[in-house]
Chain A
Amino acid sequence: MDRKNIYKGWEEQASKELRDKNLKDHFWETPEGIKVKPLYTEDDLQKINHEIGLPGLPPYTRGPRATMYTNRPWTIRQYAGFSTAEESNKFYKEGLKNGVMGLSVAFDLATHRGYDSDHPRVVADVGNAGVAIDSIEDMNLLFDGIPLDQMSVSMTMNGAVIPVLASFIASGEEQGCPREKLTGTIQNDILKEFMVRNTFIFPPKPSMRIVADIIEYTSKKMPKFNSISISGYHMQEAGANQVQELAYTLADGKEYIKSALERGLNIDEFAPRLSFFWSIGMNFFMEIAKMRAARYMWSKIVKEFKPKNDRSLALRTHCQTSGVSLMEQDAYNNIVRTTIEAMAAVMGGTQSLHTNSFDEALALPTKFSARIARNTQLIISEETGICNVIDPMAGSYYVESLTSSIVEESQKLISEIDEVGGMVKAIEMGIPKMRIEESSAKRQARVDSNEETIVGVNKYKPTEKQEINILSIDNVEVRKRQVSRLQKLKNSRDNKIVESFIEKIKNAASSDENLLEICIEASKNRCTVGEMTSAMESVFGRHNLSTKTISGVYKNTVKNDGKIDIIDNELNKFVNKKGRRPRMLVVKMGQDGHDRGAKLIATAFSDLGFDVDIGPLFQTPEEAAKQAIENDAHVIGVSTLAAGHKTLVPLLMESLKNNEASYIKVICGGVIPPDDHPFLYDLGVSKVFGPGTNIQEAAIEIINLL
């Protein structure tokens, strides 16, 4: 019998099983707009438009190395950092003893944004969401007893990339490791900062120049160091679907290649040291297909720049399981989610992996939760036999078909970017950010109307509360320690030399001298991260984004199950009583750049009929209060995710009081551990909304509150 007839036979059989339901109803349209059929067959393999090939050979669809995990499994690389350098150093050593193979440093937000710990704008940020690094002295403590010539170190740093990388290199040399022996990765991916991660400092143009400075310097002086980690991770976490994540990341990569070439570098000098970074979410097969599509497409993209070395075509990547897929409610479920995601990353052929801890939606990991996260990888790697076969998914009818569809769909998005003149231009126009926010709003609408299930959140909710111990950082204490260490440094160094370096940095910034090179020397001479940044800032200026917002997406996606009518009704009552719609100011205070929740709340609430003011990123509590008063908002909605709430919310309340404006109500949302709720309520906060909040239910509560 020929294939066609066999397929017909299956259709008949399936229809029988479905009885009165239609086979057509079992097609699934993914959030990326890809139509997935219930069954894939040999026929589908005939239709694919990408090359599968062999591992270690162009176009590298099956992996960048010929042996993949059969020779050496992926690197277990856990992203971590908190409070002081000493504390983080202890944590790293503990991890290394227990299976971690490479370090990955998480810096605090003050450092990310180039402020020293004693800067007034960072009172709530020092040491909270990562480790505070003010100078080479802190770096020395961070890597104390960790030989940098043997340990590969990845650093997530983009905004203050020059002073931080400089301090790292200088610290290595003080430890006795020459720069050419350093191995690891610097994230150095500024484009996605403007798009989704929000730890930029300078405007786009000088920022791109800095990226090129680093690519240039490392390609010449640090041959074993990855000069950039082109990251899609943060896009998916900000709400992008997999096609968007892939397309925009590759488009970013293209832009970096162009700017390095403009520097006069040869493609083969730096392309092999470009690395990538994906987020791996719950759509198991889609993620695997994404990783394979990425390798295939990247090799095609680089090919256009005519490299001689095949290694330039190979995409190597780090992966992290998705943080947004993890929930505060029923938090132990997160262990299962992370396991599934880790499996996808491994099946997709990652080079290194971070697995999240189950307390992700509550706070930074504890020793206990970090151990489980680590062990998840060890179990996959050492108990399952998965590592014994290279690229086991290849040839799967479904996975290869999906890979092809992803290639096709992301190509469309890349073309859209090309048409406007590349990613820098597209970012200026706000195109990718807008598309990502649309996806984020759609996703929330689907969850809010129970079209997408999240176990323990909108279905199968637990009846009992679980107590989970979480890590709490005494930010006041950390800051005190950092400030006194800074003071000591400033008293013991030669301030004349420091000043001369500040001048040199300014000069380099206004000319085309390599900034990294100068800053390495400056670090050795005890210039701080903040000082080096403000020297550059005096030339480049400090950037802030103008917040653009979308509208209508939430309302168009959400299914009206009666709640919308209730809201309309309540709103009408409100307007009749108060003479205007409820007006809410959504604020982000401190250096916390998590704006997904704030943007979502803003767009969804305005869709539901609120008047929503949206504040800029990085407001101080006084600025937020001023804006709320001038706009005469009924309520300030504080969105806080980076543990600044215990410092910032009291300051906000005080500022309102000082201006006789305590009639303005305050509500909070975001990552706020349950233990902190009483503290906030005691301050006078009217309501706290945690992760997983249903927006329509929140809207009803808020109207009633006012």
Chain B
Amino acid sequence: MKLKSYLKLFKISNIDFSKEIGISSVSLSRYISGERLPEKKILNKIFKLTNGSVDANDFFLSSSPSRDLSEIHKKEIKKMVLNIRGGKLKDLAKAITLVESSLKLHNAQADFLLSKLKQNKNSLRVGITGVPGVGKSTFIETFGMSLIDLGFKVAVLAIDPSSKRTGGSILGDKTRMMKLSVNKNAFIRPSPSQGNLGGVAKKTSESIRCLEEAGFNIIFIETMGVGQAETTVYDMVDIFLVLLLPSGGDELQGIKKGIIEMADVIIINKADGNLKNTAEITMLEYKNAQNMISNIREDISPEVFLCSSTESIGITKIWNFIKKFEKIRRDSGSFYKTRIQQQTKAIWRNILLQSQDYIENNLKYNDSVKKIIKDVEKNNFDVNNASKIIFDFILKRNT
């Protein structure tokens, strides 16, 4: 990291630090501003004193443009934040675009934007998962409308699978949230997953913060019940709903057992028409299958509900349980504790993703790396040493 940031982070004054190295504070300022470059001996001292946080690269390589935003951009973003607070949907939409974008500039703008947002403790973040077609969007439509009637502002982030082969996608969730999508107290944003479920999910938690800033107090995240996106989403919501079809066996439903274990609420949807009886049987099965059901939350156990999203049956019961869940956990403080833990997890997740991104988009194209791999292929080099050398690239990476 830059020396300037280090000193700021640990609240060390320039004078104190210059004394410790044994140089004048004027020289130190020159090093910091980049006017002069420190010599080898001084570099070593700084490296040791900062526990390796500040190394030679931090002086010799100029920082990436993405980290520094121009004043004009900052001003734009500040205005955007004000507009978001003022309820301008256009700015909210643009903010989410910045968050989701793959451009470095946009990421920098998003970073700056996120730094301007407040922490919102009053919102409720609801994760919803289930196999394609189980009725997630329809459930959100019905449930969301009833929440709006109660005076809430409801936002929905729907993560759609992108087609891997072409990269394009069709985002049709809104056609199943017909009333919600035209309601002025609702905001729905379907996002393509770009083939990288984890990646979008990371962005999702940042999008949630934008939505909260705009005053949306109940936020739904819809994901498909397959793949690893669910665990990621689980780690960014306050309550996790799993929708199931009226029928036996999870294998049949293509949903992983692990996902059921995460559920705070299990909803057997489509409990209407000739599926009603099957739905009741399914409910009993889940109620009895205690081993399936999680005990992750220390203060409240999951419950199973019957629901018909199309006929609006079971909605009130589900809402009552969610309210109870929220109250108990807020009162005990576990609600906030979980959010704090989630933040820590988010940090590590982001780091993992950034490394992954660096590997996929930079490292794999690095000529030296390519050469090393060629050598391994030709048996001129062993896997262990090769990996170590390549890993050094990550350690040295500064941008």
Contact = CB atoms under 8 A, between A and B. Distances in A.
B249 to A, nearest CB: 20
B100 A580 contact: yes
B190 A613 contact: yes
Contact of B174 (A571, A579, A615, A629): A615
A613 B174 CA distance: 9
Nearest to B163: A551
A606 interface: yes
A602 B172 CA distance: 10
A581 B168 CA distance: 8
A629 to B, nearest CB: 5
Contact of A606 (B88, B137, B163): B163
Interface string A587-605: 0000000000000001101
B169 A614 contact: no
A581 B89 CA distance: 21
B171 interface: yes
Interface in B158-176: 162-163, 165-172, 174-176
Contacts, number: 106
A623 B178 CA distance: 10
B175 A608 contact: no
Contact of B166 (A548, A580, A606): A606
A661 interface: yes
Contacts of A627: 174, 181
A580 B182 contact: no
B101 interface: yes
B90 interface: yes
B182 A623 contact: yes
Contact of A616 (B101, B165, B166, B175): B175
B276 interface: no
A575 interface: yes
A632 B93 contact: yes
Interface string A556-580: 0000000000000001000100111
Contact of A580 (B90, B101, B178): B101
A450 interface: no
A580 B189 contact: no
A661 B91 CA distance: 10
A612 B160 CA distance: 11
B42 interface: no
A571 B93 CA distance: 22
Contacts of B162: 611
B89 A608 contact: no
B175 A614 contact: yes
Given A605-B168, A611-B192, A623-B182, A580 B97 contact: yes
A552 B165 CA distance: 9
A551 B171 CA distance: 11
A660 interface: yes
B384 interface: no
B337 interface: no
Contacts of B176: 546
A22 interface: no
B189 A631 contact: yes
B171 A632 contact: no
Given A580-B97, A632-B97, A602 B170 contact: yes
A579 B103 contact: yes
A551 B181 contact: no
Contacts of A632: 93-94, 96-97
A396 interface: no
A332 interface: no
Interface string A606-622: 11111111111000000
Nearest to A552: B163
Contacts of B292: none
A570 B188 CA distance: 29
- The CB with the most chain B CB atoms within 10 A, among A545, A607, A630, is that of A630
Given A551-B163, A580-B102, A581-B192, A631 B93 contact: yes
A576 to B, nearest CB: 8
B175 A547 contact: yes
A421 B176 CA distance: 24
A623 B181 contact: yes
B330 to A, nearest CB: 30
B2 interface: no
A609 B192 CA distance: 12
B287 interface: no
B94 to A, nearest CB: 6
A57 B88 CA distance: 71
Contact of A631 (B88, B106, B167, B171): B171
A178 B198 CA distance: 70
B305 interface: no
A609 B167 contact: yes
Contact of A608 (B96, B103, B166, B182): B166
A626 interface: yes
A325 interface: no
B171 A611 contact: yes
B96 A606 contact: no
A630 B168 contact: no
Contacts of A30: none
Contacts of A333: none
B187 interface: yes
Given A579-B101, A579-B103, A549 B172 contact: yes
Interface in B185-206: 187-190, 192
A687 interface: no
A552 B167 CA distance: 11
A659 interface: yes
A614 B168 contact: no
A660 B91 CA distance: 10
Contacts of B88: 660
Of B162, B170, B172, the most chain A CB neighbours within 10 A belong to B170
A555 interface: yes
A694 interface: no
B187 A630 contact: yes
B308 to A, nearest CB: 14
Nearest to B83: A660
Interface string B237-264: 0000000000000000000000000000
Contacts of A629: 89-90, 93
A411 interface: no
B140 to A, nearest CB: 13
A152 interface: no
Contacts of A613: 170-172, 174, 190
Contacts of A630: 89, 92-93, 187-189
Contact of B106 (A548, A552, A579, A608): A579
Contacts of B103: 578-579
Given A547-B172, A614-B175, A631-B93, A626 B167 contact: no
A675 B312 CA distance: 49
Contact of B172 (A575, A607, A608, A614): A614
A544 interface: yes
Contacts of B105: 579
A32 to B, nearest CB: 27
Nearest to B169: A611
Interface in B82-132: 88-90, 92-94, 96-97, 100-103, 105-106
A555 B166 contact: yes
Contacts of A602: 170
A216 B174 CA distance: 39
A697 to B, nearest CB: 17
Nearest to B174: A627
20 contacts: A546-B138, A548-B172, A552-B163, A552-B165, A571-B167, A580-B100, A580-B102, A605-B168, A606-B163, A607-B166, A608-B166, A614-B171, A614-B172, A623-B181, A629-B89, A629-B90, A629-B93, A630-B189, A632-B93, A632-B97
Given A614-B172, A626-B182, A630-B89, 11 more contacts: A547-B175, A578-B103, A579-B101, A602-B170, A609-B167, A612-B168, A614-B171, A615-B175, A616-B181, A623-B182, A659-B90
Across the A-B interface, give the 7 residue pairs with the lowest CB-CB distance, nearest first: A579-B101, A579-B103, A547-B175, A606-B168, A616-B175, A632-B93, A609-B168
